[in-house]
Structure 1
């Protein structure tokens, strides 16, 4: 029953997004931001806690009112963005590529910034599963959105490498959409059909610490060949065009948040704990923030590996020539990948 209730929550989030869509389009000085779960959204947590968007807005001569909403799954976030319920979407780079392709020549959704580089782990509590080749029909892999989320796409890249492009989605049939917190509970506690989770920090680390059978089956960095800006922010071309002061204030706030985290990891950890109202172990959280594998920066890195794969297997129609085809051509994107 707990699992069934958890599965209903993404539907509730989608309903919330549709209700918000009834609000009129926002003018300069108003910003509605959708985030999801995990340390990957720490830049947004810091920006909200320190009121950095408002600060940069005032410096530009505009008072910005910021509304925050938490959703789960790239498909839910994309629906909210296209319905006009939000202005800035926070999700994986794979959902960005999907909605960018879907809105080509119309709303022209593009990336705004990266939220940093974080390794994502596919964790299983099934001792016999050592590689993805060991998953069977009775196993269930939880991830935010089947076939859409960045975790799903990384799993598809690994599947294509093992079984060929024709079977890139082979493991989709045993994948289940579930928010990260609920998936972590299932993997740590055991006793449900969910025995694997392709998550993000801190949930993957909690699983490894909380269940003696939990182990890493796949690391996203290994799949794409290095650090990956897996989680990004994106918006419509119209929002960027019609709200230049708000847009620039948002970018300035993100950049300041990234520098704040690097300079003050202890304070950043406390902000995360306050913002997420969870029971994440502070020492574990600090270990994640200070990990050499984690970089807090707003320039995207290695995202084209995802874009190239998605076009190759036919899930997006338009082949990006470079990162500039799916991110707005802002200064911090130059040199990105």
Structure 2
């Protein structure tokens, strides 16, 4: 598994090196100054953590915060790896994904930075096996679903394994990569013994009588620590500052709307998950569900990844991988 992690990092670096050699940059001047229609392509994934993105789309907040004409393209991708590839190639301008694949990408040379947290969310290690009460009870034949190798869920499990078992890679051979919804289905059917997942899948899975939390992650990743982060390409950040600022302002406005109008927000967000507004509101009011642009825990995860062979190195500093809006 260590070799596999290094291979993933090497692939990211190779893509970013190609980008550096080609010198491709989509914008060399502000579209606002030129009078042209600005364009921004935003990639995201799925889950309750992306609620601010849903509000931004539904209410046209980027368009509202940009002084001029702007065309916003939203694309849903299934993994942080796919987002990293898009950012490295210059196809994506703004993205939202977990901290861990961002750290892998930025330390491998992908030209982007964080502009803030999109959401903190509860994470739980769930199981359908009554014999599992801690990581020590997970035998070699027990499979654990995580959304991807190198994902934040993988790293959180590794952090817990380091603390409890003394080896961050102790459970690497137990891992199965599945999307959150597929992992939840596999957990409920018994195809895997455990799943490390986030909201709303932890809430949905625990509606089943046979699904329980195996062990808390609070000791390695406290409530409120950053989960999904907002990223901006260096090209957009440097060459289209008005577009960048519109994205930042829209993100903050969406968070303010969610925090100050929870019932209204629940009415919008429930459609994404096909649940009642009441159910969505209860999920949003979980203490671990936080919409705030602060970035707690980022360097803790970066240092852990570097020290345990999930990344070749840690970032030079927090300031080196963030824009001014995140400081």
TM-score (norm 1): 0.82
Change over 3 Å in CA distance of 1:222–1:286 after alignment to 2: farther
In the alignment, what sits opposite 2:39?
30
- Rounded to whole Å, the distance in 2 between the matches of 1:220 and 1:31 is 36
Instruction: Report the alpha carbon displacement of residue 183 of structure 1 after superposing the two structures with TM.
Output: 1.5
- Equivalenced residues, count: 296
Residues 1:270 and 2:267 are matched in the alignment:
yes
Instruction: Report the alpha carbon displacement of residue 224 of structure 1 after superposing the two structures with TM.
Output: 2.5
- Rounded to whole Å, the distance in 1 between the matches of 2:322 and 2:214 is 31
Moved more, 261-270 or 284-293: 284-293
In the alignment, what sits opposite 2:133?
130
Matches within 5 A, 1:315-330: 315-320=310-315, 322-328=317-323, 330=324
Instruction: Report the alpha carbon displacement of residue 76 of structure 1 after superposing the two structures with TM.
Output: 1.8
Instruction: Report the alpha carbon displacement of residue 323 of structure 1 after superposing the two structures with TM.
Output: 2.4
1:206 aligned counterpart, secondary structure: helix
In the alignment, what sits opposite 2:241?
244
Moved more, 196-205 or 306-315: 306-315
Residues 1:313 and 2:313 are matched in the alignment:
no
- Rounded to whole Å, the distance in 2 between the matches of 1:299 and 1:245 is 22
User: Does structure 2 conserve the Cα–Cα contact (< 8 Å) formed by 1:224 and 1:305?
Assistant: no
In the alignment, what sits opposite 1:151?
153
In the alignment, what sits opposite 2:10?
none
Residues 1:83 and 2:80 are matched in the alignment:
no
In the alignment, what sits opposite 2:165?
163
1:49 aligned counterpart, secondary structure: helix
Structure 2: stretches of 5+ with no match in the other structure: 1-18, 32-37
- Rounded to whole Å, the distance in 1 between the matches of 2:276 and 2:187 is 17
- Rounded to whole Å, the distance in 1 between the matches of 2:202 and 2:222 is 20
Moved more, 91-100 or 303-312: 303-312
In the alignment, what sits opposite 2:14?
none
Moved more, 94-103 or 291-300: 291-300
2:310 aligned counterpart, secondary structure: coil
User: Does structure 2 conserve the Cα–Cα contact (< 8 Å) formed by 1:143 and 1:177?
Assistant: yes
Instruction: Report the alpha carbon displacement of residue 33 of structure 1 after superposing the two structures with TM.
Output: 1.1
User: Does structure 2 conserve the Cα–Cα contact (< 8 Å) formed by 1:126 and 1:195?
Assistant: yes
- Rounded to whole Å, the distance in 2 between the matches of 1:54 and 1:316 is 37
Structure 1: stretches of 5+ with no match in the other structure: 1-20
User: Does structure 2 conserve the Cα–Cα contact (< 8 Å) formed by 1:258 and 1:297?
Assistant: yes
From 206, 210, 214, the counterpart of 1:217: 214
- Rounded to whole Å, the distance in 1 between the matches of 2:309 and 2:303 is 10
Instruction: Report the alpha carbon displacement of residue 220 of structure 1 after superposing the two structures with TM.
Output: 3.6
- Rounded to whole Å, the distance in 1 between the matches of 2:25 and 2:60 is 23
Moved more, 83-92 or 24-33: 24-33
Instruction: Report the alpha carbon displacement of residue 73 of structure 1 after superposing the two structures with TM.
Output: 1.9
Instruction: Report the alpha carbon displacement of residue 51 of structure 1 after superposing the two structures with TM.
Output: 0.5
- Rounded to whole Å, the distance in 2 between the matches of 1:296 and 1:79 is 27
Instruction: Report the alpha carbon displacement of residue 122 of structure 1 after superposing the two structures with TM.
Output: 1.3
Matches within 5 A, 1:1-337: 26-27=26-27, 28=31, 29-57=38-66, 61-103=67-109, 107-146=110-149, 148-164=150-166, 167-188=167-188, 190-191=189-190, 193-209=191-207, 211-274=208-271, 276=272, 278-320=273-315, 322-328=317-323, 330-331=324-325, 333-334=326-327
- Rounded to whole Å, the distance in 2 between the matches of 1:174 and 1:137 is 6
Instruction: Report the alpha carbon displacement of residue 226 of structure 1 after superposing the two structures with TM.
Output: 4.3
- Rounded to whole Å, the distance in 2 between the matches of 1:170 and 1:73 is 24
User: Does structure 1 conserve the Cα–Cα contact (< 8 Å) formed by 2:98 and 2:227?
Assistant: yes
- Rounded to whole Å, the distance in 2 between the matches of 1:313 and 1:35 is 28
Over aligned residues, Cα RMSD in angstroms? 2.0
- Rounded to whole Å, the distance in 2 between the matches of 1:292 and 1:153 is 22
